[in-house]
Chains A and B, each alone.
Chain A
Amino acid sequence: MSSLLSIKNLGVNFDTPRGSLEAVRGVDIEIPAGTSVGVVGESGSGKTVMCRAAMGLLQGSNVQRTGTVVFDGNELTAMTKEQVRNLFGSGMAMIFQDPMTALNPVRRIGSQLSEGLRVRLGMSKKDAMVRSKELLELVRIPNPTAVLKSFPYQLSGGMRQRVMIAIAIACNPKLLFADEPTTALDVTVQAQILQLLRELREDLKMSMVLVTHDLGVVAGNTDFVAVMYAGEVVEYAPTTKLFADMRMPYTEALLESIPKIDHKSGTRLSVIAGRLPNPTDRGVGCGFAPRCKYAQEKCHTQHPELQKDPDGHLYRCWFPIGKAL
Chain B
Amino acid sequence: MRKFTKPTWLAIGWLSLMMFFAIFGWVLPFKSWNFVYEDDLEVGLFTNGHILGTDSNGYDLLASIVAGTRMSIFIAIAAVGLGGLIGSVLGITAAYVRGKVDTVMVTIFNVGLSVPNLVLALALVSVLATNVDINQAVPTWRRVMVLIMSLTIVLIPILGRIARGATLSWTGREFVTAARSMGMRDSKIITKHIVPNVLPALIAVAFLAVGVVIIAEASLSILGVGIPDGASWGGMIARGRNDLEYAPHVLYVPIFFLALTVISTNHLGDVVRAQLDSREAKV
Contacts and interface: CB of A to CB of B under 8 A. Distances in A.
Interface string A70-111: 000000000000000111110011101110011111110000
In the complex, which range does the number of interface residues on chain A fall in?
A: 20 to 34
A294 B184 CA distance: 49
Contact of A96 (B98, B177, B183, B283): B177
A116 B182 CA distance: 6
Contacts of A57: 177, 180-181
B179 interface: yes
State the majority secondary structure of interface residues on B.
helix
A33 B36 CA distance: 89
Interface size class, chain B: 20 to 34
A97 B174 contact: yes
Contacts of B192: 104, 107, 115
B29 interface: no
A103 B183 contact: no
A153 B175 contact: no
Contacts of A2: none
A119 interface: yes
B178 interface: yes
B181 A115 contact: no
Contacts, number: 75
A60 interface: yes
B142 interface: no
Contact of B98 (A60, A94, A101, A106): A60
B3 interface: no
B99 interface: yes
A156 to B, nearest CB: 14
A31 interface: no
Contacts of B184: 115-116, 119
A164 B180 CA distance: 14
A101 B175 contact: yes
B178 A167 contact: yes
Given A105-B197, A105-B283, A153-B282, A115 B182 contact: yes
A96 B196 contact: no
Contacts of B2: none
Contacts of A102: 174-175, 177-178
A101 B173 contact: yes
B193 interface: yes
B188 interface: yes
A119 B197 contact: no
Contacts of A188: none
Contacts of A153: 282-283
B183 A119 contact: yes
B1 to A, nearest CB: 13
B78 to A, nearest CB: 28
Contacts of B175: 101-104
Nearest to B194: A104
5 A-B pairs closest in CB distance: A88-B183, A116-B182, A102-B174, A101-B174, A94-B181
Given A52-B177, A85-B185, 19 more contacts: A57-B180, A85-B183, A88-B181, A89-B182, A89-B183, A93-B181, A93-B182, A96-B174, A102-B175, A102-B177, A102-B178, A104-B192, A104-B197, A107-B193, A115-B182, A116-B183, A116-B184, A119-B182, A153-B283
24 contacts: A55-B181, A60-B98, A88-B183, A92-B181, A93-B181, A93-B182, A96-B174, A98-B174, A101-B175, A102-B177, A103-B178, A104-B179, A104-B193, A105-B283, A107-B192, A107-B196, A115-B182, A115-B192, A116-B184, A119-B185, A120-B183, A153-B282, A153-B283, A170-B182
Interface of B: 98-99, 173-175, 177-185, 188, 192-193, 196-197, 279, 282-283
